[in-house]
Copies of this chain bind each other. A is one copy, B any other.
Amino acid sequence: MSNSQLKITILGCYAATPRSFTNPTSQVLEIKNHLFLIDCGEGTQVALRKNKIKFSRIKHIFISHLHGDHVFGLVGLVSTFSLLNRESELHIHGPKGIKKFITVQLQLSGAWTKYPLIFHELSSRESEVVLEDEEVTVSTIPLKHRVYTNGFLFKEKIGDRKLLIDEAQQRNIHYTLFKSLKKGKDVTSEDGILIKNNMVTEDPAAPLSYAFCSDTMYNPEMVPLIQEVTALYHESTFLESEAALAAPTKHSTAKQAAEIAKSARVGKLILGHYSTRYGDINKFKEEAFTVFPNVILGDDGQEIVVE
């Protein structure tokens, strides 16, 4: 994958229970050189196989909340990593309690992992950075649901400046200085002339970002956190016709998801977490489209590339 795109693979995007042809929530996000797993409903490990995702590339798993349709597949995946003789660290970021949730099962089944399993338990009600390296930052998006829940914001860091190789060669700049140019520095040519950086470089590609927001009621407080993200996945459990169900269960309608997308001026809105009461999910797209034009109807097995 080129560095100038994100790839989201939807393993499952239906609410409540796994069914014959629909999976509960789980996604894989490919960003820079990372492959992140987000949520892990029952059957996620099978969906990973069906979507030909290489298990060993997953080093970080982010869990939004401890409702079964977002986490019941985690212990099985953790165990399968052991059977596959994984040796590298696995980091699990999720709500306080997730360590007990998983380790009680491993202990009772007499099957501790052979690889380092590292839990990062979250409890803050404010957004916080949960992972940062040279290429990406991952931070939480506090959501409002029936239990403690976080969305996650994945952001590329701004990359190196783009070298205009022909310009640099014309100005007789030695190639050993190219790295300095990419880092934004001015350099001196072979002819002893000072070359201002912007004469031979261009701004790097705008960093891409992805916000995963599920499960949550309609919550405009999240808007500043997800301002202008490249893509937003926002749950839409219900249609407006069932808005009376959305409120008490602290879920959103497709229209509400679109209103959040519009307010935050995001690039694309991806819908999901559909209640299984609906036969035809196209209605979700139609409803969201009345508010926000760039809507993608998420579905199981779908790969969404964002550039």
* CA–CA, A161 and B283, complex, Å: 61
Name which of A45, A68, A101, A111 has the most chain B CB atoms within 10 A of its CB. A68
Q: Interface 1/0s, chain A 68-103, versus B by CB < 8 A?
A: 100111011001100100000000000001101100
Does A272 lie at the interface of the complex (its beta carbon under 8 Å from any beta carbon of B)?
Answer: no
Which of these, B16, B75, B98, contacts A72 with CB under 8 Å?
B75
The reply to whether A109 and B147 contact each other, CB–CB distance below 8 Å, is yes
The reply to whether A17 and B80 contact each other, CB–CB distance below 8 Å, is yes
What is the count of identical protomers in the complex?
A: 2
The reply to whether B76 and A42 contact each other, CB–CB distance below 8 Å, is yes
Q: Interface 1/0s, chain A 25-46, versus B by CB < 8 A?
A: 0000000000000000011011
Does A174 lie at the interface of the complex (its beta carbon under 8 Å from any beta carbon of B)?
Answer: no
The reply to whether B104 and A100 contact each other, CB–CB distance below 8 Å, is yes
The reply to whether B18 and A45 contact each other, CB–CB distance below 8 Å, is yes
Contacts of A67 in B (CB 8 A): 109-111
CB distance from A64 to the nearest CB of B (A): 12
The reply to whether B68 and A20 contact each other, CB–CB distance below 8 Å, is no
The reply to whether A110 and B66 contact each other, CB–CB distance below 8 Å, is yes
| 26 interchain pairs, CB-CB under 8 A | A17-B45, A18-B43, A18-B76, A19-B49, A20-B49, A42-B45, A42-B73, A43-B43, A43-B46, A66-B108, A66-B110, A67-B109, A67-B110, A68-B76, A68-B105, A68-B109, A71-B109, A72-B76, A72-B79, A72-B105, A100-B104, A100-B108, A101-B105, A104-B104, A104-B105, A110-B146
